Structure 1
Amino acid sequence: MFDVYITKAAKYLPNEAVSNDEMETYLGLINDTASKARRIILRNNKIQSRYYAVDKNGKSTHTNAELAKNAIEQLFDENFTNQDLEVLSCGTSSPDIIAPSHAAMVHGLLKNKSVELNSSMGICCSGMNALKYGFLSIKAGNSKNAICTGSEKVSTWLSAQKYNNEIINLKNLEEQPIIAFKKDFLRWMLSDGAGAFLLQNKPGGEISLKIEWMEAYSYAFELEACMYAGGDKLENGDIKPWSDFTPEQWLNESVFAVKQDVKLLDEFILPKGVESMSDAMAKHNITAKDVDYFLPHVSSYFFVEGLKKGLDEKGIILTEEKWFMNLLRVGNVGSASIYIAVEELMNSGKLKKGDKILLSVPESGRFSFAYAYLTVC
């Protein structure tokens, strides 16, 4: 078994930062009416700026694959060129197309050479799953290096025009032409961007991060879907897939819209997160004293105090100075968020050799959680 190091990290955030007051300029107004939920949701998540891969007319400036490619290219230099790459592992929850895979589309843009590909689907944990594939490949001696990414392009999924047919249909049915909260909620939570790591079997550069271990947990065996797209939830909790709807229903019911069951989110995201993190730390015999920096991916500051309280009750006392977050400035970039946070910390000048970093990534899709423990070297 070989040691695995993150030797370089990069991010790509498209265009200029978008303030809270500018959001509807980019995403548009549903039914020509400002969202009543927007201010409430933004007040709770405390995000102040984010990035969109669209212009003010809603026209795309980048694809998801291009965002990932732009982050990846920053990892190449005279010491590691695109011809040296062996494994490309890409995670996303918002691929540009259903098939071919997201990793294949990114590789097509790199135009380097034949490499091994892996695409990880899911939601926020897809980025961590992509990282674990690269980690295990190097650890097992299958490869000497890998580039792993998390990237999202959700702005076009959230544009007002995607909901117009549903509004027209509601008017025709003489119902209130208001998009359900489960759809409107995520329009003010998500943003675009990409992050990338270069993994190698030897440390390199001024700072490298040795991946000590990675763990992942799923509670889908006992909990129904909470965040979903490309279908709709039935009364019994099952998801009816898009392929079982008519094309008219795709439009009239915004079947492809990203939805969030907020009640389920509130009930389970923190308890299951605390439970899985406690299990991961116990499995590897570490405590809060063995953590110098805690990087939790959270979708909203609304959950931060609850997470702290839950961890405290488990005896995991992570003091304020150990928490490292950039949600306020870059927004919730889904699978890319943890990459972007690590890149910022890695290049901050704060790290010293021997520091221990714990990464925590929850996914509300059907409640999955992923963790990684890193040593600065």
Structure 2
Amino acid sequence: MKNAYITKISKFLPNSPVENDQIEDKLGFIDGQKSRAKSIILRNNKIKKRYYAIDENGNVTHNNAQLTAAAIEELCDANFSKDQIELLSCGTSTPDQLLPSHAAMVHGELKNGNMEINSASGVCCSGMNALKYGYMAIKVGQVNNAVCTGSEKVSTWTKADFYQEEIEHLKALEENPMIAFDKDFLRWMLSDGSGAMLVENEPKGDTPLKIEWMEGFSYAFEMETCMYAGGEKLENGELKPWSEFAPEDWAKKSVFAIKQDVKLLGENILKKGVDCLKEVYEKHGIGPDDVDYYLPHISSYFFKQGLYDEMKDRGVEMPWEKWFLNLEHVGNVGAASIYLMLEELVASGKLKKGDRILLHVPESARFSYTYAYLTVC
């Protein structure tokens, strides 16, 4: 088996950062009114800046494939061109279309010749799953390099126009024209952007990171759906897909809006995460003492203290000085978040040879978790 190294990391964040008081100017006011939930959610998540692929006039500046291709272009220099990519592996929660696959559309943007492509679906773990596919392809010697990406284009999914027909439908029924909290919640949480990693079979570059191992877990066998789009959650916990709704109901019920069962999230996301973290530690014979930098993808700073407390209560406390987060000034970029965190850590110049990095990515869709353990070469 060969070794796999992350030799370069890049990012692309579209347009200028959007401050908290600018969000509704960008996304629009639902029914012309300010959100009642906005201030509460922003106070808890502590996000101050995020990025949208929308210009000053509300026009789309980039689709998801273009965001991803832009990050990949940032990987390229005199030593590595896009024509040298052997494998392209892309993960996202928000592809531009149902078909073709996201990776196929990114490849179409790159226009760099024939190569293998892979698309990882899902939510936040899709970016890590894209990385794992590239990691495994290099481990078995199928390719010498892989470009792996995580990206999101969520702004158009959360614009006010997306909910307008539902509001009009509620008014026609003489019901309260207010978007449910499970839909409004995520409008103040999510951000656009992309990250890319070049993974190679040799430790090249200024700060190569050896991928020691990657592990994934799913609790879908015992947990109902928590975060979803393209469906509606029923009272019995089952998810009714968009294809089983009449077309006229897609807009009336905002079927394609991103939603989250906030109660289910709060009760389970941390507990399940520490359950499998302990399994990872036991399997690989390591613990918090074997980690120099801990990069957890958290959707909100609301969960930061809770995650620390859960680990402490379960005997795997991670000291605060090992945590590295950038949520406050980048936003929650879903599948791209872990790429953006690692890129910022490498660019900080803090890393030294021998440092050990633990990546921890949860996904609330149906409670999945992915981990990666890296060492600085």
Q: For the superposition of Structure 1 and Structure 2, which TM-score range results when normalised by the shorter chain?
A: over 0.9
- Alpha-carbon distance between aligned partners in 2 of 1:214 and 1:205, rounded to the nearest angstrom: 22
Taking every aligned residue pair, what percent have the same amino acid on both sides?
63
- Give the RMSD, CA atoms, in angstroms: 0.6
2:203 corresponds to: 203
- Alpha-carbon distance between aligned partners in 1 of 2:2 and 2:312, rounded to the nearest angstrom: 35
| Superposed counterparts of 1:41-120, under 5 Å | 41-120=41-120
Q: Which runs of 4+ in 1 moved over 4 A?
A: none
Q: Given residue 291 of structure 2, which amino acid in structure 1 is its aligned partner? A: V
1:259 corresponds to: 259
Q: Is the 8 A contact 1:58 1:159 kept in 2?
A: no
2:348 corresponds to: 348
Gaps in structure 2 of 5+ consecutive residues? none
Query: Is the aligned partner of 1:271 residue 2:249?
Result: no
1:318 corresponds to: 318
- Alpha-carbon distance between aligned partners in 2 of 1:235 and 1:260, rounded to the nearest angstrom: 14
- Alpha-carbon distance between aligned partners in 2 of 1:33 and 1:20, rounded to the nearest angstrom: 16
- Alpha-carbon distance between aligned partners in 2 of 1:85 and 1:104, rounded to the nearest angstrom: 14
1:137 corresponds to: 137
| TM-score, L = length of structure 1 | 0.99
- Alpha-carbon distance between aligned partners in 2 of 1:5 and 1:316, rounded to the nearest angstrom: 28
- Alpha-carbon distance between aligned partners in 2 of 1:26 and 1:35, rounded to the nearest angstrom: 14
Gaps in structure 1 of 5+ consecutive residues? none
SS at match of 1:31: helix
1:176 corresponds to: 176
- Alpha-carbon distance between aligned partners in 1 of 2:58 and 2:284, rounded to the nearest angstrom: 47
SS at match of 1:61: coil
Q: Is the 8 A contact 1:182 1:260 kept in 2?
A: yes
2:194 corresponds to: 194
SS at match of 1:303: helix
For structure 1, which segment, 221-230 or 72-81, has the greater mean C-alpha deviation from structure 2 after superposition?
72-81
SS at match of 1:278: helix
1:14 corresponds to: 14
1:282 corresponds to: 282
SS at match of 2:156: coil
Q: Is the 8 A contact 1:93 1:124 kept in 2?
A: yes
For structure 1, which segment, 1-10 or 311-320, has the greater mean C-alpha deviation from structure 2 after superposition?
311-320
Query: Is the aligned partner of 1:359 residue 2:359?
Result: yes
Q: Given residue 69 of structure 1, which amino acid in structure 2 is its aligned partner? A: A
- Alpha-carbon distance between aligned partners in 2 of 1:321 and 1:360, rounded to the nearest angstrom: 16
Q: Given residue 219 of structure 1, which amino acid in structure 2 is its aligned partner? A: Y
Q: Is the 8 A contact 1:7 1:197 kept in 2?
A: yes
For structure 1, which segment, 313-322 or 177-186, has the greater mean C-alpha deviation from structure 2 after superposition?
313-322
1:298 corresponds to: 298
SS at match of 1:83: helix
- Alpha-carbon distance between aligned partners in 1 of 2:278 and 2:107, rounded to the nearest angstrom: 37
- Alpha-carbon distance between aligned partners in 2 of 1:117 and 1:184, rounded to the nearest angstrom: 35
- Alpha-carbon distance between aligned partners in 1 of 2:42 and 2:60, rounded to the nearest angstrom: 24
- Alpha-carbon distance between aligned partners in 2 of 1:169 and 1:77, rounded to the nearest angstrom: 53
1:218 corresponds to: 218
- Alpha-carbon distance between aligned partners in 2 of 1:301 and 1:127, rounded to the nearest angstrom: 21
| TM-score, L = length of structure 2 | 0.99
Q: How many residues align?
A: 377
Q: Given residue 30 of structure 2, which amino acid in structure 1 is its aligned partner? A: I
